[in-house]
Amino acid sequence: MRILKYLKSAPAKGILFTKCTDPLVINVYTDARWAGAINDIRSTSGYFTFVGGNIVTWRSKKQNVVARSSVEAEFEGMTLGICEALWLGLLLTNLGYPPKAPIQLYCDNKAARDITHNPVQHDRTTHVEVDVDTQF
C-alpha cells in the first residue's frame, strides 16, 4: 500500500527505459550493510541488475546467517546478485537473445574484491569459502 500511495502522489515520476545500441550486457551492482539489524545482528544485502543499460530486477534482503565481518556480508550479497544474473542470462538465452559479453559484477568492498582476485584463500576467510561453496 505504501508503494501505491507513493505512485499516486508522484504521477510525473517514473523509470525510463532506453534502447541500448551496445551489445546485450548484464551488469550487477551489489552492496551489503554488515550487522544492520539491531535485534539479531544480521546483515542486509541488496542488488540491482541491468540488462542493456536498463534496470530489470532489484532486491533487498536480510541475510539468513550472521556474518562475522563486512567481507562475509559482501560475499553473501554478491552471491545473491550473481545468482540473479545467471538466471537472467539463461532466460535471455532461452528467449533467443544470448548475452554478448560476460556478466559484470560490481562490489564496493575493496577487501572482498581483493580476496576474489586472489586464488589462494587466506586463513581468516575459510569460513567464507565454506558458506559460498554450500550455496551453489
Give the domain CATH number at 124.
3.30.420.10
Residue 36 lies in a domain: yes
What are φ and ψ of residue 32, in 5° steps? -145, 145
CA dihedral 10, 12, 14, 16 (to 10 degrees): -170
Residue 11 lies in a domain: no
Tell me the pLDDT tens digit for each residue of 94-121. Answer: 998 888 899 998 988 777 777 777 756 5
Q: How far apart are alpha carbons 82 and 89 in whole angstroms?
A: 10
Q: Which domain holds residue 55?
A: 20-135
Residue 34 lies in a domain: yes
Q: How far apart are alpha carbons 58 and 29 in whole angstroms?
A: 9
Residue 9 lies in a domain: no
Tell me the pLDDT tens digit for each residue of 39-96. Answer: 777 788 889 998 888 888 988 887 777 777 777 778 788 888 889 999 999 999 999 8
Q: Higher pLDDT residue, 37 or 104?
A: 104
Q: Higher pLDDT residue, 23 or 105?
A: 105
Q: How far apart are alpha carbons 66 and 34 in whole angstroms?
A: 9
Our count of domains for the chain comes to: 1
Residue 1 lies in a domain: no
Kindly state the cell numbers that stand for 79. 552471491
Q: How far apart are alpha carbons 17 and 123 in whole angstroms?
A: 45
Residue 111 lies in a domain: yes
Q: How far apart are alpha carbons 49 and 11 in whole angstroms?
A: 25
Residue 125 lies in a domain: yes
Residue 7 lies in a domain: no
Whether the CA torsion 71, 74, 78, 80 is positive or negative: it is positive
Tell me the pLDDT tens digit for each residue of 123-133. Answer: 555 555 545 44
pLDDT at 108: 83
Beta strands in the chain (DSSP E): 26-33, 44-51, 54-62, 104-107
